[in-house]
Chains A and B, each alone.
Chain A
Amino acid sequence: MPVVWSTRSLQRFPSHSGGAVVKLRPKRAVWLLLALALAMYGASRTTGAGWLVILVAVVVALIAVGVALPVVGVRRASLAVAAPRDATTGRPCTLTIESERGAIVADIPLFDSRTGLVGPVCGTVSGVPPYRGVFERLQVTIVCSAPFGLLEATRDLVVQLANPLSVAPQALVLGHRDGLDDALDQDGNIVRGRADEGTVAALTEYHPGDPLRRVHWAATAKHGDLLVKQLEPPVSQRLVVVAELSGGPYEQDDIAGRALGLVVRGLRAGIAVDLWTRSLQGIDRSTVDSPIHAGRLLAAAVVGRVARPSDVGDMTVVVVEA
């Protein structure tokens, strides 16, 4: 049996997760229909025509169904939200929201009023977050006006995201201005240390005149003959970026962006990067796996002092601050 299927990572939210207040907005047509029904009722009471009673019943039923079903629909609506885990400021971020049972999603400001992610429709919503941050909740307004479009019933829901949305700052790769200058060699690689330290590329037999320093004693012991290391130019193995945020939102994002740029440069050079930030829980010192990881750390960063590393060792430390 051939099976072809595509998954969506949807999280379903029942409709009682949120406000119960339903706002109603009847369209003009409701009043017109009511007026029509009243007129026909009045005519039926004066002309004695039985058919008018039937027509009144039909119009009243139309109004009743057109007014009641939207309210029922908006109360019974359930949402399925697919939100990414990460986004970047200044770049479009896409959310997928589906509502069942005929209600349309009308408005989606993110819970924190700082960001500007709004969408008028159901389905895929795209917006550009202006600032970084971590968003755990989504406020959604749903609208239902089925089946005739006579009455709009709206309701606000607050939806808790299973994975918080981290909006990372834009990585500002500044090149020569990011404070790494003194640690760079002419190729742009982060260099540290003396020329005679580094990794061992190969072993060769000992020739008289080779410096004793370069004898690989472990290999010699194993093989019984003197073996000498051939070295590669040393490269600093570790970069520590300390991001200390301060100032207003724009300044914070600027600092975070510069820090991220540094991290990206380090990762591209193939070296290990540590990122020190301050989050709500305290100071985070993490080894960065990927730009996304760094972005998440920086998204969660808050204003505050970050202690500098005390024991530098063979690490290159760059402090990014205002």
Chain B
Amino acid sequence: MRVLEALKRANASGAPEESVAVRLAVFVAVMSAVFALAAEDIAGTVVTVAAILVIPVGFYISHRYRANDQLALKAGLAVALLVVLVNFLGALGPLAGGDITAVQVPLAEVFLWVQVLHALHVPGRRDLVFGLVASGVTFAVVGVLSLSITMAPLLLLWIVAATTALVLGHRDDVRAVGAIATEKQARLSTDAKAVARIGGVLAVTAAVVFVLLPAASTSRALAFPINLPKIESVASPGGLSNPSLGQGDPQQTSSDSDSTGIESRASFGYFGFAGQLDTSLRGRPDDTLVMRVRAPGPDFWRGQSFDTWDGTRWTLSDDSSRTILGDNPLVIPPTNGDALAVGQDFVATFYLERPGPNVIFSAARPVEVYFPDARLFQLRDGTLRAAVDLGAGAVYTVVSSRQPVTADLLRQADPLVYGVPAPIADVYLQLPDTPQRVFDLAADVTRDAPTTYDKVRALEAWMATNTTYSLDIPTLPAGEDAVDHYLFEAQQGFCEQIGTSLVVMLRSLGVPARLAVGYIPGERNPFTGMYEVRASDAHAWAEVWFPGVGWQSFDPTAKVPLAGESGRLAAAAGLIDWIQERLPSFVDTGMEALIVLGGVAALAGLGVVGVRIIAAHKRKRNRDRYEQHVWRLERLGARCGRSRRSGETLIEYGRRLAESPLRDSDISSFATDLTDWQFSGGDATEERSLDDRIRRIERRHRDLRSTMTALRVTLRG
């Protein structure tokens, strides 16, 4: 018996929670967590539907029977919870190996079950707070799995609900002690004001903390997510397959220079992810979201490269590849030209949204690839191809080795000084028949540059000054050299032209270079911490070889800092850009945003003025002339910091005001005359003169700074 009693005492959850408002707030918080989980579509349908239906019922029952000692229910829930936990552990069993990704679904389901079961029995404050914390942890689980910002409004709702529940709960405790007024009408407004105030403080503090925190990063201690919804082998193993480019085989080279065999490509398909790159082709992919990349910083997502230039087209000289086998991870050996020194780990996870080429994107030199398939093909230039088609929903992780290059390091690692090894020189110094003036230009521009790095920068600078970046350029006349046409005739082009010209000019100087195609980093979403890459981010740029460093990307248009020069990323990086992107389309710059904000503020101000006018009107209706004059005098006094005290007659107040700081004897005589007028019968003619006098006095003491005090008096009066 004593044991039972002890158990009972331990299980006693304290006084039942009486406040409906607190319960409602916790209910909203829990439901928002459930909906967030449902939106991510992680847990099974059955559980989700059960949660959405059962939790409201559970909360209602808990409220109804909060005073009852429901031992049977508690026992039943304990048993059910045990069953759920056992189930969960059972589901974990076969997934031994610390693979976090596979535990997602069971974990989410466990949380849902916990929420459902818990919601059935929440009599006291402690249980409600547990529910709140559980919903918070649910949001954390959802946050780990979420790729987009669909969770944002629900999270906001949760924050508001949690704040409300906590503040109201505490206020009820304090009210029970008698420290706050308890009149019914006052209670709602004071509570709402308190919640709003605390919520505001909380939001500001959270924003400050968020700005100070560093960005989330991935650790190699955990296993990386991999996924492949549909397994479809590519047509030819080792070859390139790109469904986004239509039915045609992208590897087939066309005989015509302005071939349009790639007609039926998807709007988001980039013709660079093919067997050849024809720089005479026009037309860019659209804004479709192609993939999301979770990375600790921005870098080029390199797909493949080309080494042979014939004046209009890029091709790959050697399409042969070697097979790499492995099982999570696949270890990638270095290729020709790669630096052998171990660089810093750069872990990037790619979540594909659209079907694309069967190319593994990576930053710099990939070292390990966590891939759903056990086979990869590596080309001689380091490009990695998969044996399966990579469609929407595919996920893989690449660990790259990045050398912490700085500008000075690159200056020292000068290929022209240290010499270029033969294997690299054979392939990457190739040039077709190019008009001499191109080579002359290159030599001319780089004459004063001491090192190769400076030469590259000099060429980039020249192109930035003398050419324009444009997506709308005239077609290349037949037979013309693309670089020559771009540099001297059209003088406008986009990434293919710029990159090609850079490569050609560098090769003419004896610097090994090649054209790489891939994606620029994309827009960083500061909430999820992922880079959102769109089809329009498809890009072609120059890669230059530096001894001891390897292939270094250069692109004058993309803003990717050198690996050694980029600092640690803050969690809020990209926040301003992200906000600016989402401003209405007619707002281009920050200046215009400010103007819009100003307009909104002006409208709000007008609204306030309107409210004041209406309030003044209502006041006029409810008060008579005497009270209005008194009120005007009081407002004047409040404006200069001297409000009328309780128990102060009008004459005393007028006398006080007439002294410092106003030093206006008219005020005291006005107060005296107003009193005399009212209490002696108040005839209308006298009243008009009083009106003029107070008006004159007000005009004399107009002071903008004190208008806020007056506003307070106004709204209170």
Indicate if A touches B (C-beta under 8 A). yes
For the A-B complex with A64-B209, A102-B174, A147-B194 known, give 11 more contacts whose Cβ atoms are closer than 8 Å. Answer: A36-B137, A49-B216, A50-B143, A50-B525, A51-B140, A51-B151, A53-B210, A61-B205, A122-B177, A147-B167, A149-B173
Given the known interface contacts A52-B143, A53-B571, the answer about A47 and B222 at a Cβ–Cβ threshold of 8 Å is: yes
Is B467 close to A, CB under 8 A?
Answer: no
The 22 listed contacts between A and B (C-beta, < 8 Å) are A45-B217, A47-B144, A47-B219, A49-B146, A49-B216, A50-B216, A51-B140, A53-B216, A54-B155, A57-B206, A57-B207, A60-B209, A61-B209, A65-B202, A65-B205, A102-B174, A103-B179, A105-B179, A122-B177, A145-B170, A146-B174, A149-B173
Given the known interface contacts A55-B140, A147-B198, A149-B169, the answer about A50 and B527 at a Cβ–Cβ threshold of 8 Å is: yes
Given the known interface contacts A36-B133, A65-B202, A146-B174, the answer about A48 and B210 at a Cβ–Cβ threshold of 8 Å is: no
Q: Is the CB of A47 within 8 A of B179?
A: no
Q: Is the CB of B213 within 8 A of A57?
A: yes
Q: Which residues from chain A contact B140 at a C-beta distance below 8 Å?
A: 40, 43, 51-52, 55
B211-230 vs A, CB cutoff 8 Å, 1 = contact: the mask equals 00101111101100000000
CB distance from B363 to the nearest CB of A (A): 14
Interface of B is mostly: helix
Query: In the bound complex, what is the Cα–Cα distance between A104 and B179 (angstroms)?
Result: 6
Query: In the bound complex, what is the Cα–Cα distance between A2 and B167 (angstroms)?
Result: 37
Given the known interface contacts A36-B136, A55-B139, A57-B206, the answer about A49 and B528 at a Cβ–Cβ threshold of 8 Å is: yes
- Chain A interface residues toward B at CB < 8 A: 1, 29, 32, 36, 40, 43-62, 64-65, 69, 99, 102-105, 120-123, 145-149
Q: Is the CB of A122 within 8 A of B136?
A: no
Q: Which residues from chain A contact B167 at a C-beta distance below 8 Å?
A: 147-148
Query: In the bound complex, what is the Cα–Cα distance between A131 and B179 (angstroms)?
Result: 30
- Chain B interface residues toward A at CB < 8 A: 100, 129, 133, 136-137, 139-140, 142-146, 151, 155, 159, 166-167, 169-170, 173-174, 177-180, 194, 198, 201-203, 205-210, 213, 215-219, 221-222, 294, 296, 347, 349, 525-530, 571, 627
Q: Among B145, B179, B529, point to the contact of A99 (Cβ < 8 A).
A: B179
Q: Is the CB of B222 within 8 A of A56?
A: no
CB distance from A123 to the nearest CB of B (A): 4
- In the complex, number of A-B residue pairs with CB atoms less than 8 Å apart: 144
Shortest Cβ distance from A106 into B: residue: B177
Query: In the bound complex, what is the Cα–Cα distance between A172 and B210 (angstroms)?
Result: 72
Query: In the bound complex, what is the Cα–Cα distance between A104 and B174 (angstroms)?
Result: 8
CB distance from A60 to the nearest CB of B (A): 5
Shortest Cβ distance from B213 into A: residue: A53
Q: Is the CB of A54 within 8 A of B170?
A: no
Query: In the bound complex, what is the Cα–Cα distance between A62 and B133 (angstroms)?
Result: 12
CB distance from A38 to the nearest CB of B (A): 12
Query: In the bound complex, what is the Cα–Cα distance between A105 and B177 (angstroms)?
Result: 9
Q: Is the CB of A48 within 8 A of B529?
A: yes
Q: Is the CB of A59 within 8 A of B136?
A: yes
Q: Which residues from chain A contact B203 at a C-beta distance below 8 Å?
A: 61
Q: Which residues from chain B contact A149 at a C-beta distance below 8 Å?
A: 166, 169-170, 173
CB distance from A153 to the nearest CB of B (A): 14
Q: Is the CB of B100 within 8 A of A47?
A: yes
Query: In the bound complex, what is the Cα–Cα distance between A61 and B221 (angstroms)?
Result: 29
CB distance from B344 to the nearest CB of A (A): 16
Query: In the bound complex, what is the Cα–Cα distance between A62 and B166 (angstroms)?
Result: 10
Given the known interface contacts A49-B216, A57-B213, the answer about A1 and B529 at a Cβ–Cβ threshold of 8 Å is: no
Q: Among B166, B208, B217, B627, point to the contact of A148 (Cβ < 8 A).
A: B166
Q: Is the CB of B210 within 8 A of A51?
A: no
Given the known interface contacts A44-B216, A52-B144, the answer about A147 and B170 at a Cβ–Cβ threshold of 8 Å is: yes
Q: Among A29, A43, A57, A60, point to the contact of B144 (Cβ < 8 A).
A: A43
Given the known interface contacts A40-B140, A55-B140, A64-B205, the answer about A50 and B215 at a Cβ–Cβ threshold of 8 Å is: yes
Q: Which residues from chain A contact B571 at a C-beta distance below 8 Å?
A: 50, 53-54, 57
Q: Is the CB of B170 within 8 A of A146?
A: yes
Q: Is the CB of B210 within 8 A of A54?
A: yes
Query: In the bound complex, what is the Cα–Cα distance between A148 and B194 (angstroms)?
Result: 11
Q: Is the CB of B526 within 8 A of A50?
A: yes
Shortest Cβ distance from A99 into B: residue: B179
CB distance from A36 to the nearest CB of B (A): 7
Instruction: Across the A-B interface, give the 7 residue pairs with the lowest CB-CB distance, nearest first.
Output: A50-B529, A51-B143, A48-B218, A61-B206, A57-B210, A61-B205, A46-B219
